[in-house]
């Protein structure tokens, strides 16, 4: 089977499971909702203030919520020894990784789309810069979180208390991506400066880590 | 082997005492900062030593992935552990020095400050992974994570480079002027710190080798008991 065929069938399977159970989506959505509400109680910002802090709030909320989905990525495959089946099958493992990362990407983007109206309502947001630029920032930033998150979820499979291990590994490495996402969003919302540098940094981050993940994933999958 | 370790220990002791005297007594007092500037002789050598150890960790991780050599894995573990200790020294002495000189403990937008902090966090998470992971494949997983950490460092640097920086530009090779005697004291201190790092790493290396031998012997014994 070709790379694309394996990616497509694995991705379709994951989306089908998620569509029927909605485990990860519901958990992420409820978690994100809680973060939005708690932050809005904690800060109660005016429209002017929220333009400055919303970039940080949105992405921290998304990061925490994404961990919920990322933790389930591989744990689901441990039941019934599915992962062992992957290991012994002749199929290459990079399309498997790609499918998992794309699946998480779709889930997290869905959550972002559902949470965006909440943020706008709770924080009285109105972008002073060109709002469409938020779209590439969201896509690139989400991929940055999800590609490393999927990879480190596989790494933490081998550890004790793996649910705690994932954020411990993922957050330090995600600092440059998070910094770029937050600053790009704040730049667009406040309309004061161009987010171009931060978008370039996100592209570099995505390219470097996607390559690194694809090159080393086999070693992680085979490690047992 | 044993004699080499003793020799390095004696050398480290002598160099450290000499460097302490040089830094606290012999070095000239800085004109504007006064005596507090003497922390420089500990802050900068620790930073250089930590960076060198992280570099060794990266090289050892790559070598391990290519050759699957146990020695390389132990070197990676040991250099990360000792590197984190020296990095902690940098992060503790930095604010102590910054408070009287800049008037603040911490400058959040500063490039080297923040890069050092993120570096420290990354290697701490590497050590946590090694501690929490208990399969025989821990070295492979850890080496991959070490490489990811090393890839992250330039990105962290560039992301913070966009902010204005408060830290003085590099003293050596950065166009800054450093008094010749101060530079001498700095280098003596660095030599002493390198010896100390080498001594600690060597001892820790021997300890880790012994620990693995014991673990292996225990595993064999359990197998033997089980088969009887």
Please state the three-class secondary structure of A26-84 as a single string: HHHHHHHHHHHHHHHHHHCCCHHHHHHHHHHHHHHHHHHHHHHHHHHHHHHHHHHHHHH
Does any CB of chain B come closer than 8 Å to the CB of residue A168? yes
**β-strand partners of A159:** B133
Q: Taking CB atoms and an 8 Å limit, are A148 and B144 in contact across chains?
A: no
Q: Note the maximum CA span of chain B.
A: 77
Considering only A79-88, A111-120, B3-12, which range has the smallest mean pLDDT? Answer: A79-88
Identify the DSSP state of B179. Answer: -
Report the residue from A159, A209, A219 with minimal CB separation from B133.
A159
According to the model, what pLDDT value does residue B171 have?
Answer: 47
Report the residue from B137, B148, B152 with minimal CB separation from A158.
B137
Q: Provide the whole-model pTM.
A: 0.85
For B126-135, letters b (16+ CB in 10 Å) and e give beebbebbee
Question: Residue B52's Cα: distance from chain center in Å?
Answer: 7
Give the count of alpha carbons within 13 A of B81, CB side only. Answer: 16
> For testing the chain A interface, which of B136, B155, B162 should be mutated: the one with the most A CBs within 10 Å?
B155
Contacts of B149 in chain A (CB under 8 A): 172-173
According to the model, what pLDDT value does residue B87 have?
Answer: 93
User: How many CB atoms within 10 Å of residue B92?
Assistant: 13
Mean pLDDT of chain A: 86
Question: Residue A119's Cα: distance from chain center in Å?
Answer: 18
- Taking alpha carbons only, the member of B168, B151, B56 closest to residue B112 is B168
Does any CB of chain B come closer than 8 Å to the CB of residue A215? no
ipTM: 0.83
**C-beta of residue A58 within 8 angstroms of C-beta of residue A92:** no
**C-beta of residue B169 within 8 angstroms of C-beta of residue B176:** yes
d(CA A209, CA A143): 10
pLDDT exceeds 70 at position A199: yes
* pLDDT one digit per residue (tens) for chain B, 228 residues: 678 888 999 999 999 888 888 888 877 777 777 777 888 888 888 988 999 999 999 999 999 999 988 899 999 999 999 999 999 999 998 888 888 877 888 876 677 788 889 899 999 999 999 888 877 788 888 999 999 999 888 887 777 666 545 555 554 444 456 777 888 888 888 899 999 999 999 999 999 999 999 988 998 998 888 777
- Taking alpha carbons only, the member of A53, A10, A41 closest to residue A150 is A10
Burial class (CB in 10 A: 0-12, 13-18, 19+), A22: exposed
**β-strand partners of B133:** A159
Mean pLDDT of A166-170: 91
Burial class (CB in 10 A: 0-12, 13-18, 19+), A27: middle
pLDDT in tens, A14-51: 899 889 988 888 888 898 888 888 888 887 777 777 77
Mean pLDDT of A71-95: 83
At residue A1 the predicted structure's pLDDT band, cuts being 50, 70 and 90, is low
- Rounded to 5 degrees, φ, ψ at A8 are -65, -45
According to the model, what pLDDT value does residue B173 have?
Answer: 42
Q: Residue A150: which domain range?
A: 3-222
Residue B99 neighbours by CB under 8 Å, 6+ apart? B105
Domain residues of chain B, as ranges? 14-167+177-227
Mean pLDDT of A101-121: 90
Contacts of A223 in chain B (CB under 8 A): 135, 137, 140-141
According to the model, what pLDDT value does residue B174 have?
Answer: 44
At residue A202 the predicted structure's pLDDT band, cuts being 50, 70 and 90, is very high
d(CA A141, CA A143): 5
At residue A218 the predicted structure's pLDDT band, cuts being 50, 70 and 90, is confident
| Domain count of the fold of chain A | 1
According to the model, what pLDDT value does residue B161 have?
Answer: 67
Q: How far is CA A128 from CA A55, A75, A120, A134, A193, in A?
A: 13, 43, 13, 12, 11
How close, in Å, is residue B182 to chain A by CA atoms?
36
Report the residue from A156, A169, A175 with minimal CB separation from B156.
A175
Q: Taking CB atoms and an 8 Å limit, are B148 and A175 in contact across chains?
A: no
């Amino acid at each position: 089977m070709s790379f694309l065929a394996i990616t497509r069938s694995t991705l379709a399977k994951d989306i089908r499971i998620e569509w029927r159970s909605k485990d990860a989506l519901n958990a992420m959505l409820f978690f994100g909702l809680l973060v939005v509400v708690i932050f809005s109680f904690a800060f109660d910002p005016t429209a002017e203030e929220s333009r400055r802090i919303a970039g940080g709030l949105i992405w921290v909320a998304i990061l925490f919520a994404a961990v919920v989905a990322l933790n389930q990525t591989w744990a689901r495959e441990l039941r019934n020894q599915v992962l062992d089946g992957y290991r012994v099958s002749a199929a290459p493992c990079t399309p498997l990784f790609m499918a998992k990362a794309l699946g998480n990407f779709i889930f997290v983007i869905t959550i972002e789309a559902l949470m965006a109206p909440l943020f706008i309502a709770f924080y009285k947001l109105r972008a002073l810069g060109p709002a469409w630029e938020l779209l590439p920032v969201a896509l690139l930033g989400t991929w940055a979180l999800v590609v490393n998150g999927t990879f480190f979820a596989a790494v933490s499979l081998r550890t004790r208390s793996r649910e705690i291990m994932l954020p411990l590994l993922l957050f330090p490495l995600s600092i440059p991506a998070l910094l770029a996402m937050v600053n790009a969003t704040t730049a667009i919302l406040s309309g004061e400066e161009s987010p171009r540098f931060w978008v370039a940094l996100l592209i570099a981050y995505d390219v470097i880590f996607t390559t690194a993940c694809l090159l080393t994933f086999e070693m992680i999958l085979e490690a047992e | 082997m044993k004699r080499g370790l003793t020799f390095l220990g004696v050398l480290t002791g002598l160099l450290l005492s000499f460097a302490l005297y040089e830094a606290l007594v012999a070095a000239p007092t800085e004109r504007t900062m006064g005596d507090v500037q003497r922390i420089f002789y500990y802050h900068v050598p620790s930073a250089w030593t930590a960076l060198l150890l992280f570099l060794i960790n990266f090289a050892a991780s790559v070598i391990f992935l290519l050759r699957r050599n146990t020695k390389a894995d132990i070197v990676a573990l040991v250099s990360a552990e000792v590197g984190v200790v020296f990095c902690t020294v940098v992060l503790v002495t930095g604010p102590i020095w910054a408070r009287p000189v800049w008037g603040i403990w911490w400058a959040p937008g500063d490039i080297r400050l923040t890069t050092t902090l993120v570096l420290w966090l990354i290697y701490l998470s590497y050590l946590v992974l090694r501690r929490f992971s208990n399969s025989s494949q821990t070295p492979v997983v850890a080496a991959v994570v070490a490489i990811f950490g090393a890839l992250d460092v330039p990105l962290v640097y560039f992301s913070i480079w966009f902010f204005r920086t408060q830290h003085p530009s590099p003293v050596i090779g950065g166009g800054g002027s450093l008094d010749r005697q101060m530079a001498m004291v700095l280098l003596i201190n660095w030599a002493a710190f390198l010896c100390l790092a080498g001594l600690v790493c060597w001892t820790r290396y021997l300890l880790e080798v012994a620990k693995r031998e014991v673990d292996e012997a225990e595993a064999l014994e359990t197998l033997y008991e089980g088969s009887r």
